[in-house]
Amino acid sequence: MMREFVCHKTEGAYAYLMDSSRLNLSLKAKRGYLKSCCLLYGDPWEPRQPLRKRRMRKVAGDDLFDYFSVAFKIPFSRRLRYAFILDDGYERFWYTEGGFHSKQPATEEMGLPFFQLLYMRESDVFSTPNWAKRAVFYQIFPERFRNGDETNDPPNAVQWGSLPATAETFLGGDLEGIIESLPYLSNLGVNAIYLTPIFSSPSSHKYDTQDYYRIDPHFGETSTFCELVRACHHSGIRVVLDGVFDHCGFEFWAFQDVVQKGPRSKYKDWFEIYSFPIKTHPAPTYGTWGKNIWQMPRFVTSHPEVKKYLIDVAVYWIKEADIDGWRLDTASEVDHEFWRDFRRAVKAAKAEVLIIGELSQNASPWLQGDQFDSVMNYPLRGIIADFFAKGSIKAEEFDARLARLRMQYCVQTNEVLYNLLGSHDTVRFLTLCNGDVRRMECALIFQMTYIGMPAVYYGDEVGMIGSGEWTDSRRGMIWSEDEQNRELLDFHKRLIRIRKSHEALTHGDFTTLHADSATNTYAYLRSRGEGRVVVAINNSCETQCLTVRSGRIRRGSRLVFTDLLTGEKYRADEGRIQVSLAAYKGVIFSGNP
């Protein structure tokens, strides 16, 4: 027995309430080490009662670990003590909080050595907005999306379609343009939009805020924004705003007071001031976002007045415009207590508000139910890009990295992660694919059928390109149908329609069915109750034939599965589906036993 190969904790993704009545317990062990894993459990206040037993299922595996899980209804008046029976094929042993044992620990006494959850409270359930599980997002960079009101254009605006050169290049996009585009968005099928900052700012990106209570005049007025939100809600579309609360703009009124009054300013403690007078060059004499980006002074978010001001801003726009959520910029650079107070305030203002943090690392500390509902899933984007766009990893590594990422979080979190292929801060995904639309379509099939909220970056659906220079990935939206990739647009529409039509894709479990690096083919099952969707993808340059199982099924049954993309019928004998896939193609099967 090699004890160092096994791990469980009574916290985080290892032990959590799925809802008010169900508990999920997980354990990880060295890959291939355990032949079986069972849970023994009982009431800690009834130590003489026999322990119950449940077999744990291997739900995932990466290059280092296998993950075993079991979910069940909470017994014993919401309290539990438990241990694991592990079998490595040579010996059987018991794993408890007190260590490893060659025989079952005595059950007559309360307390150690068992793992214990002495009281599971309903208030500890990590709950997220119900609508988010069914969300398909569309990210809009307002200045570059559509010009609906030329009377509010910046005086130096260039012609639509010109390539933006700097952050100060303006095309004239505005909120009226988004309102005019709602029929397009509805036809695309998205039901949530995320807008990058819309508050008063001198730049095109608006991440250097001047006034958090004022819509940028080149975008419109507060009344224009409220009209946009009302029109979106009428069309069944939620609206999430970008909140820049780590830093402000150089022209922000409180920072300007510090610039003008120096150490006499009553706002000097709102910012990280190194020395007076305030200087921007050769290096700022104050803390900034990024490395010496003088246009973006950093807030001291732990300061009570700063915290109150910024949280009041967040609540104001919920009440004033009835927005549905906040995407929080550079969220990892703000202290945790700020976000805890932020969550309490915005959820009190509107319970179904969605909070999405911008983080690129393991976000577990922010996803314990006291701060964010979701994060931008940049790690997933990296995995998708490596497999589909760059071809730098094969199917087995792709599956392993997905498993490792998925097992970091509880189910509730995975279901609402913001799964993006691109954003205003990334290379356009089609550019990553070297213009190969087939590769992008394979990635889209995966994105739209995986766990989490899929998100489309404006213009990706019509084949827009853009390099690593952030200004290039923020080109003006292509509205001329002659210049759009209409086939790619129709492909997005079909995938979004498929996702929204199958509960297995929005609420279902994920099971890997096939991962073959030799052929670079991949298949998986999404299932919820009796509903199931099987997805198979050939991510290679040659036609591949593969056989995949549709999950557990009655012996002797013969079903007909339909490819939701083409309508083609496939026969499944005892749950096995044989399919031939052309290079860089995928199928989405739907069927019920």
Q: Cα 554 from chain centroid?
A: 35
Residue found under tokens 């599971």: 120
Yes or no: say if 168 and 196 are a contact pair by the CB < 8 Å rule: no
Q: State the Cα–Cα distance between residues 240 and 406, nearest whole angstrom.
A: 25
**CA angle, residues 560, 562, 566, in degrees to nearest 5:** 150
Q: State the Cα–Cα distance between residues 211 and 200, nearest whole angstrom.
A: 5
Q: What is 163-191 written as a DSSP string?
A: PP-STT------HHHHHHTHHHHHHHT--
Name which of 569, 564, 571, 570 is nearest 587 in CA terms.
Answer: 564
Residue found under tokens 């695309």: 188
Residues in the chain: 593
Q: Which residues pair with 546 in a beta bridge?
A: 579
Q: State the Cα–Cα distance between residues 275 and 439, nearest whole angstrom.
A: 53
Selecting among 66, 176, 246, 329, the annotated active-site residue is: 329
Q: Strands 238-243, 325-328: parallel, antiparallel or unpaired by DSSP?
A: parallel
Q: Strands 6-7, 22-30: parallel, antiparallel or unpaired by DSSP?
A: antiparallel
Q: State the Cα–Cα distance between residues 501 and 528, nearest whole angstrom.
A: 13
Q: At what angle do helices 336-349 and 304-321 cross, to 10 degrees?
A: 30
Sign of CA dihedral 529, 530, 531, 533: positive
**Catalytic annotation present for 373:** no
**Catalytic annotation present for 272:** no
Name which of 3, 248, 237 is nearest 135 in CA terms.
Answer: 237
Q: Strands 531-538, 585-591: parallel, antiparallel or unpaired by DSSP?
A: antiparallel
**Helix, strand, coil shares, percent, the chain, to 5:** 30, 25, 45
Q: State the Cα–Cα distance between residues 409 and 155, nearest whole angstrom.
A: 48
Selecting among 358, 373, 415, 461, the annotated active-site residue is: 358
Name which of 138, 123, 127, 217 is nearest 181 in CA terms.
Answer: 138
- 187 class by beta-carbon count within 10 Å (0-12 exposed, 13-18 middle, 19+ buried): exposed
Q: Strands 6-7, 52-55: parallel, antiparallel or unpaired by DSSP?
A: unpaired
495 contacts: CB under 8 Å, gap ≥ 6: 444, 445, 448, 449, 565
Q: State the Cα–Cα distance between residues 283 and 263, nearest whole angstrom.
A: 19
What kind and span of H or E run contains 304? helix 304-321
Q: Which residues pair with 355 in a beta bridge?
A: 326
282 contacts: CB under 8 Å, gap ≥ 6: none
Residue found under tokens 């087995």: 396
Q: Strands 354-357, 325-328: parallel, antiparallel or unpaired by DSSP?
A: parallel
Q: State the Cα–Cα distance between residues 289 and 342, nearest whole angstrom.
A: 20
- Which residues participate in catalysis according to the annotation? 329, 358
